[in-house]
Amino acid sequence: MLDPVVAAVRRAVREALAPFADSGARILVALSGGADSLALAEATAHEARHAGIEAIAVTVDHCLQSGSAEVAERAARQARDAGIRDARVVRVDVGSAGGPEAAARDARYAALREAAAETGSVAVLVGHTLDDQAETVLLGLARGSGAASLQGMSPHALDERGLAWIRPLLALRRADTEAFCAASGIDPWADPHNDDDRFARVRVRHRVLPVLEAELGPGIAEALWRTAEQLREDDEAFADMIDETIEDIVEHAEAGIAVSVPALAANPAAIRNRIIRHVVASEFGVALTRAQTLEVARLVTDWAGQGPIDLPGCQATRSGQALAFRAAGA
């Protein structure tokens, strides 16, 4: 009889692969050698065979730990043993921008994007679990960066190249992937960085979440996961509203773009601020902070003739009934 946790992981992967079934598509599995990614790789190998999909595994060696090459090669062998014939190792140079965690993540995702392009893969499967999502939500809460960070990681997203990034295991616990490996006779690698308290995520995992569970009761991780799901649904609805609204109130202006002040003023603050952020991000590639957004919004709701507001990469100016954004120096 199939172990229930094996069935659960396979079912999650099967649902993620369903849109690509019988297409002959290539799907890339991001494989670290840990329990989460090994469970994902094993389940993908099993489901891909039945779905007419070619699975490819890529292990990124960050070259940050002694023996990392051996760990990466071991993970690739385990993928081949699971039935993924094309299991490769990619070595990267990790910079320092944004700190060690961010730099390693940037190098890893860049390597996965390049490998997907080289192999013609249409999607990358990543082994993040419900526990990872809960940690991400708490870290976002600590940054105070609003609903965009509190909605955590998306289970399915397309990047600017049209490559799909899919997280089939987001509704499953880390304990589930560990149980999957035990039931399947797989020996996962234990990354020592996962116990290194220098990293904020590790402190959240080993200190913050256990305290919350102890003081507030069990189910905190699941509650954070549900919060992320609900906020993502809200954000998708907001995004649709913003797209519909912008078509009617935005027009091109000299060296930039202009937005109707009366239309902005007629909207609730949540919509108004989102429109401002969206316009600046789309036109100038800049993400405004909340303080910057509110300062621009005052040109709409509390204008007393004040002059231009300098923003990263652009300038906001009110002229009559138009709020204009122009490239800096234009």
> Per-residue confidence at 144, pLDDT binned at 50, 70, 90?
confident
Q: Residue 60 forms beta bridges with which residues? A: 90
End residue of a domain, out of 168, 201, 223: 223
| pLDDT for the residue numbered 237 | 85
- Same domain? For 197 and 306 the reply is no
Closest CA to 299 of 250, 328, 265, 249: 265
Structural domain contains residue 238? no
Whether residue 35 is found in the same domain as residue 109: yes
Q: What is the pTM of this model?
A: 0.84
Task: Provide the pLDDT confidence category of residue 3 given band limits of 50, 70 and 90.
Answer: very high
- Residue 45 · residue 83 · CB < 8 Å: yes
Residue 29 predicted with pLDDT over 70: yes
Residue 116 banded pLDDT, cuts 50, 70, 90: very high
pLDDT of residue 330: 64
Compute the mean pLDDT over every residue in the chain, rounded to the nearest whole number: 93
- Asked which of 181, 204, 223 is the last residue of a domain, the reply is 223
What DSSP string describes 165-178?
EE-TTTTS-HHHHH
Rounded distance between C-alpha atoms, residue 131 and residue 178, angstroms: 13
What number of CA atoms fall less than 13 Å from residue 287's CA on the CB side?
A: 3
Question: Is residue 145 predicted with pLDDT exceeding 70?
Answer: no
The domain that contains 70 carries what CATH number?
Answer: 3.40.50.620
pLDDT of residue 307: 86
In a domain, 246, yes or no: no
Task: Answer whether residue 228 is part of any domain.
Answer: no
CA dihedral 116, 118, 119, 124 (to 10 degrees): 0
Residue 320 reports pLDDT greater than 70: yes
Structure-derived torsion over alpha carbons of residues 303, 305, 307, 308, reported in degrees to the nearest 10:
40
| Total number of residues shown for the chain | 330
Is 90 exceeded by the pLDDT of residue 96?
no
Range 30-52 average pLDDT = 97
Task: State the residue for tokens 């609900």.
Answer: 230
Beta strands in the chain, from DSSP E residues, in sequence order:
26-30, 54-61, 86-91, 123-125, 156-158, 164-166, 250-253, 256-260, 309-311, 314-319, 322-327
**pLDDT of residue 136 exceeding 80:** yes
Q: Do residues 199 and 24 touch, judged by C-beta distance below 8 A? A: no
pLDDT in the model for residue 236: 85
Domain extent for 177: 4-223
Instruction: Report how many domains make up the chain.
Output: 2
Does 202 fall in a domain?
yes
Average pLDDT score over residue span 140-162: 85
CB proximity list for 130: less than 8 A, separation 6 or greater: 169, 170, 171, 172, 173, 174, 221, 222, 225
Give yes or no for residue 146 having a pLDDT over 80.
no
Is residue 149 pLDDT above 80, yes or no?
A: no
Task: Judge if 184 and 273 occupy the same domain.
Answer: no
Other C-beta atoms lying within 10 Å of the C-beta of residue 39: 31
Tens digits of residue pLDDT in 199-239? 899 999 999 999 999 999 999 999 999 999 998 888 888 88
Residues 298 and 198 in one domain: no
